[in-house]
Structure 1
Amino acid sequence: MNTISHYLKNIINLGAQGADANQARSIVIVNIMGIIPAIFTVIMAPILYWVTGDLAILISPLIEGSILFTIPLWNVLRRHNIAKLVMYSTHSLGLLYFGLLMGPNANIELIVVFLIGLSFLIYPNVTPRVISIAAVVGVLTILGISFGYHFVKWLVLAATILLNVMVFYFYSAHFNESIDTLVRLNKAKSQEFNRTNHETRNHLNVANTVCEEYLRNFPSDTENVTIPVRDAKALSFSINRIKEVVNNVLDYSQLEHSRPTPAYKKVDLEQWVEDLIQSYQVFAGEKNVSIVLELMPGLPDKVLADEKAMTTILSNLLSNAIKFTHADTAISVQLDAGRDNIIMRVTDQGPGLTESQRAHLFQAYITDRGNRYKGTGLGMPIVLETLKLLRGSITVKSNTGMGSAFTVTIPVTVPEQESVSPTEQLRPLGKTVLVVDDNPMNLRASEMQLKKIGCAAIKHTDVLAAIQSTFLECPHLILLDYQLNGMDGLEAIRLIRKQEHLKDVPVIITSGVAGIDTNKGLLAAGVTGFLSKPIELHRLYQYIQLSENALTTS
């Protein structure tokens, strides 16, 4: 039975492979209305002949079934309209023939109502729907006249048909809208994934270049390597950009809303652009390409802008410039200010763009600028979409063999000058924090973060050992990893809360799992709060301050 069902499903899906969602649905329905009735006619024809002894009852269904069996073949040949025509006309003529042959007892009206609904499922356009409905209504009219229907029956049939048409019309409209919405969401999800992959690779290139440079220049048995501040900043900047991209992936609302709201904040333009260029200079150094920054007179110190979006734009422009510019040359980055905007201009010394390449420059996946240039073709489309979000613009000047210049204009607001209060600086807290994480690198990272705000770290990879250590020194706060080896966060927090001396110590769950902060079981077990990995210093600082206030109050 399973084998028969498997083969039947394969036949029903013939011709639907490679079609879009709406067309595939229509093809499957047409195949079903061909194959299933064909099988029934082949089975029922001999039975009806045996009961009635009428040869016409045997031959006609077999002819009809043979025609219906051809429908999947038409769909395989991509002749979908012919398949629909064969299916609908065969059923209409079959209704007429069997209605006249078997009389009112055949209840042809029920099948007519069904075929009217079917027309809405297989025909997206109005004209073929009207023709198909007119065909079956014509069949019903001929049969009604032949059967001598009473006026009341005509009225009931007309009302039934009208109701059927209205129900299927609105249902099919709603169904098609739902399909279109799903297709758009799926496309948005794919585009977001590709954009994320592209941005992550850009910044990984920078980090990888720095690391390989030091691995190449020092013997393999070297234990400690001193890294210049310039390279450390490049690594830090790239890792932070990767962190932002990963956080975007975890934000499911990015997939539901194709255009997020810009997040404006104060941006130190000079510091921002210098940090970004410094990180990409390491990448450009592989080709002996220098990035030259020119800050034009009149540039404001700070602006209100979406720093993340601006970084996305300039990162992709720099990545493209480094990729396409010739070795042993320079890339120029110019930052200027207009009346209510900033102007970024990135000029490379690459092969330039042909007219055809300029025409397709902002189309996704178009990377035809020579086989030696690797890429996804998403850089410039990402720039354009991000600029749309910021209501900005981009212009391109390029000639073959003479390089390219990309000029981006982004609206910004210059904030009023205000002094920075000393209270805004992070003061040393002088607290002790117990950190429990089975990853030594995470322990080291947390220790470094705590040191920045004047806190001591007690580090453990095991919950039981961590609890044992608290009898010697009770911490002011506990940072607990949610996914420990052999024990999850819920079990760990229950163990901690069983200890009398730890009942009032705030416990913060740290995790890279999205949505963990909505876990009601953890909150009920005594979790104080949640921090996403990698831990942001200001969030950690706030939690320690809150714990300090809570302990003082208690």
Structure 2
Amino acid sequence: MSNPTQADSQVNGIPSIIIEGSKRNMGRIISGLAVVTLVLTQIFGYYLFKITGSREIFAGAIVEILLCAWAYGLANSGNIPKAIVVTFFLHSLSTLYFGLILSPNARVQVMAIFLLGLVFLLFGGIKRWLAIGFILAVTAAIEANNHIHFFRKVELQNAHVDIIGYLIIGTVMFLTSLMFYIFVKEIEDYRFKVNMYTKELQRTKQAISKYVRENSHQVRIDLNIIYGYLQHLSAEVPEKDSPGAVNVRTRDLHAMLNSTKAINEFINNSLEWSRIEQGLEIPIKKETIDFELWLDGISERFKLMAREKSVDLLLQMSNLPLYIVEDKNRLEIILGNLLSNAIKFTGRNTVVLLSVNVQNEVLVIGVSDQGPGIPIDQAEEVFKPFVSESGTGIGLPVARQLAKSLSGDIFVDPYSDVGATFILTLPLVTATNAQAQEMKKTVNNSTRSLRVLVVDDDDASRRIALINLQRLDYQIYTCASFDACKNILLNKNVDLVLLDYQLSNSITAVEVIKWIRSTGLTKNLPIIVLSGEAYLYGHSENDAKSVSLAAGANGYILKPIDYKSLSVEIEKVVNPANIKFYPWER
């Protein structure tokens, strides 16, 4: 399957590569017809003028030559629609003109045979029928003039009329044969394209089947790990809730976390690739990043996954600015895919290196492993979807497309001595002084805890949010409905609302946000939407995130919730002087 940079867009469901190929073919056909007609008109026009001395014939030939040159120029300049119109009217009006001024014995009407072939070659749909109607009108006008004589005919000798008739019949036979050849050639070309795309579809179908089969198997393995551990833990818990603790080994907890991360990565990559395949434009959201601190966080997040495989994940930074401006979400997805791939494919007791530096105003990020490596002739194949022998098969294609959306790229380092090294390059945009000062604002941890309202119709989701948010001594209110949310907001002091997108079959976060924004006491209240909706209706402008932010939400987090990411989102939308944040992985 071609990725979006290769066969990219579609027009009415037809890949643009096919449309562009058809345009090129039509351009060649029109250019060829224009050249043939121009040459024939020059030869016959000069010959007929010489034997007849008719200025009308000579003038008609000159006009036809000029129109042929115009059609040729339009076709070569890529203006195919106008070239088609000029070509059709060039031949139709020439037939009409010479049919009106020449004797019926010149048999100009037989040009209609060629014109019909031309119509079927150039037009389709309603335009074809309109063109056929025009040809019938031209033929009728010529026949009418032969009987009524409303247009004066050129006086020619009978011998000259017979010569013109033979020339016209020969021209029609030649042009019709040329048209037949073009039709046959076009059919052969289309047959070749159909066979090529059929084979491509078959390969894609096989690749997708393999993708679904292998990833369904992997997801089941991850779910089995989580389910197995939870069954074991549930056996140790009394039937009724009790304040007693359940002992969980760190190794078991890490195994469950890694499995949930693997499933989440699979879902996110699948959704991201679906967006890319559909050509959905996801707006770039650039923000100021404390770069070294952010890189430390990314490194720490994947060290847990690396330790499970006895792999050392090393971070090497040099010559970096303190703050950069970039789309942090896209950058996290790109690095996440590169690091998870490196950890998957490297051997046990090896090293994965994340190196970051700046070269000539370009941010260069390298991820190196000590696995089997990638042959040079396969360096581009790994960026095609569904070709991976392990993993989702779309992690690298997603990463490359996101990198290109940020005006960067990813490639395999051909000079890597051991394993594989993937290089991410991005234009470096450093933060301005004002942006840097904004990032330097410190959090006042001595102030009161945040008062948070969690609105979610799912009992388990509310319980999980309560457990995680209480780790900061936040004051938590929870409710399951829009009415209960109204009641709390009107009677309690709340600093932040965490709002599930789909509260019921009929109520979404949009209605709740609009009510909050229309109420005087709460119109400036920060709102973060928590949602399992990746996108709705197939259009990015109507997806859950876009409609939530448009309605007035301050932030958006996709489920399953990474509470560290949630804490960062909270930091952005709430006055930092009034809150405390999560000490995750400290």
TM-score bin (small chain): 0.3 to 0.5
Relative to the length of structure 1, the TM-score reads: 0.47
* TM-score (normalizing by structure 2): 0.45
Q: Larger relative contact order (C-alpha < 8 A, sep ≥ 6)?
A: 2
